[in-house]
């Protein structure tokens, strides 16, 4: 199969959908790989490294879409790419259709096959192509929190781990899923006193088994949160209720009980945030202060570490991309049901119910195209 990788053109997107190591895997299996000039630059991969892995560099985005049978991307196509996409072309990337009607309409018109990273779902409901970005954001949340706790940046001036003879900082993590767990590892590693709150007892049992001694678990409820905030230095929001807006666990009135210079990192900002005063911010302008409490609410945290994020993402996507190239999307979806749930639009038909309902478009069940024999 001819696999083609465009350079991402969305503002500030430095990730790339395929590494030179990944390119080599495709070539070893007899596929042809085409990479747009400078596509890997933002992540630290030069054109030469792709060439020595056996890929061909193409000069323009037009030539990439013209050549590829499968287009591997990171972010959803943007306006100028819409008319380049061809009938029957397979697109494997993040789409997030439900929040983007023009994109949905354009992909319906294109008659391409759109397989979305974010809806690839295993039978146990896990989302293998979202997990890596949550891991990055969770680890980064502590790095950012520790940094902003420094006085010159607006924080309380406390070192996360303290030093002998001083108490370490107190970190409260709301939500012990992927983000919360990775944040807890990092904060604990730096020597902080960490509490993870969740509403799932099985999850907290698991966490209390695997976490080091400076991490405690506690049931998430308003009473417990109010008790803890006057003595907490760093709060990390990492709650997720699938398919719904995040609940506001930290409300506006709670800010007055916090220590001046407390830092709030709301990773759940992309789902509305679990801190009422959270407003999405950018890497250029990441923080603001309300009532002496510093807020960091960057909606695409992994974008700041494209080298790590590219490797983490492609570690997860590559096995599926290879499968698609080897066997074609129809057979791959029979062999791997999680790929079937990744299908959102096929040849002009919306095959993902939530997307069809959101935009009042006709829904065609994916089984119309994929049948188990």
Ligand X SMILES: NC(=O)c1ccc[n+]([C@@H]2O[C@H](COP(=O)([O-])OP(=O)(O)OC[C@H]3O[C@@H](n4cnc5c(N)ncnc54)[C@H](O)[C@@H]3O)[C@@H](O)[C@H]2O)c1
Of the candidates 47, 248, 270, 326, the residue annotated as catalytic is 270
Cβ pair 195, 216 in contact under 8 A: yes
Instruction: Tell the smallest beta-carbon distance from residue 204 to ligand X (Å).
Output: 9
Instruction: Tell the smallest beta-carbon distance from residue 350 to ligand X (Å).
Output: 23
Instruction: Tell the smallest beta-carbon distance from residue 269 to ligand X (Å).
Output: 5
Of the pair 69, 270, the CB lying nearest ligand X is at: 270
CA distances for 329 relative to 24, 263, 299, 334, 350, angstroms: 21, 46, 32, 9, 16
Of the pair 199, 259, the CB lying nearest ligand X is at: 199
Of the pair 31, 295, the CB lying nearest ligand X is at: 295
User: What residues line the site for ligand X (CB under 6 A)?
Assistant: 133-134, 137, 174-180, 197-200, 203, 220, 238-241, 246-247, 249, 267-271, 299-302
Of the candidates 31, 47, 88, 96, the residue annotated as catalytic is 96
Within a 10 A sphere around the Cβ of 368, how many other Cβ atoms?
10
Is 283 annotated as catalytic?
Answer: no
Is 270 annotated as catalytic?
Answer: yes
In the bound state, the residue with its beta carbon closest to ligand X is 177
Strand pairing report for 2-5 and 32-36: parallel
287-302 burial, b at 16+ Cβ within 10 Å, e below that, comes to beeeeebbbbbbbbbb
Of the pair 112, 179, the CB lying nearest ligand X is at: 179
The DSSP letter of residue 257 is G
The DSSP letter of residue 250 is B
DSSP string, 263-321: EEEEGGGGGT-SBTT---B-SSS-EEEETTEEEE-BTTGGGG-HHHHHHHHHHHHHHHH
Q: How far apart are the first and last CA of the chain?
A: 25
Of the pair 78, 218, the CB lying nearest ligand X is at: 218
Cα–Cα dist 349/113, whole Å: 9
Instruction: Tell the smallest beta-carbon distance from residue 121 to ligand X (Å).
Output: 12
Q: How buried is 67 (Cβ within 10 angstroms: 0-12 exposed, 13-18 middle, 19+ buried)?
A: middle
Cβ pair 301, 135 in contact under 8 A: no
Active site residues: 96, 270
């Amino acid at each position: 199969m001819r696999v083609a990788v465009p350079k991402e053109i969305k503002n500030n997107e430095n990730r790339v959908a395929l590494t030179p190591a990944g390119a080599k895997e495709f070539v070893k299996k007899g596929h042809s790989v085409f990479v747009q000039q400078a596509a890997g630059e933002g992540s630290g991969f030069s054109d030469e490294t792709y060439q020595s892995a056996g890929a061909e560099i193409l000069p323009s985005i037009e030539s990439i879409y013209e050549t590829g049978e499968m287009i591997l991307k990171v972010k959803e196509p943007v306006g100028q790419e819409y008319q380049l996409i061809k009938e029957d072309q397979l697109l494997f990337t993040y789409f997030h259709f439900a929040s983007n009607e023009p994109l949905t309409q354009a992909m319906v018109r294109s008659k391409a096959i759109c397989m979305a990273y974010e809806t690839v779902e295993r039978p146990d409901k896990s989302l293998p192509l979202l997990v890596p970005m949550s891991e990055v954001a969770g680890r980064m949340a502590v790095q950012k929190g520790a940094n902003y706790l420094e006085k010159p940046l607006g924080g309380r001036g406390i070192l996360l781990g303290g030093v002998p003879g001083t108490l370490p900082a107190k970190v409260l993590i709301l939500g012990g899923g992927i983000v919360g767990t990775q944040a807890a590892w990092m904060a604990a590693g730096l020597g902080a006193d960490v509490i993870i709150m969740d509403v799932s007892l099985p999850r907290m049992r698991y966490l209390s088994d695997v976490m080091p001694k400076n991490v405690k678990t506690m049931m998430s409820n308003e009473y417990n949160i109010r008790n803890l905030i006057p003595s907490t230095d760093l709060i990390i929001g990492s709650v997720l209720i699938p398919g719904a807006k995040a609940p506001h666990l930290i409300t506006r009135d709670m800010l007055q009980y916090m220590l001046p210079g407390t830092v709030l990192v709301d990773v759940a900002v992309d789902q509305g945030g679990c801190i009422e005063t959270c407003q999405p911010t950018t890497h250029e302008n990441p923080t603001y202060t309300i009532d002496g409490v510093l807020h960091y609410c960057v909606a695409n945290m992994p974008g700041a570490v494209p080298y790590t994020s590219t490797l983490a993402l492609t570690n997860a996507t590559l096995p599926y991309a290879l499968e698609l190239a080897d066997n074609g999307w129809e057979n791959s979806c029979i062999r791997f049901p999680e790929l079937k749930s990744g299908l959102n639009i096929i040849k002009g038909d919306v095959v993902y119910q939530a997307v069809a309902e959101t935009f009042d478009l006709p829904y065609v069940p994916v089984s119309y195209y994929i049948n188990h024999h």
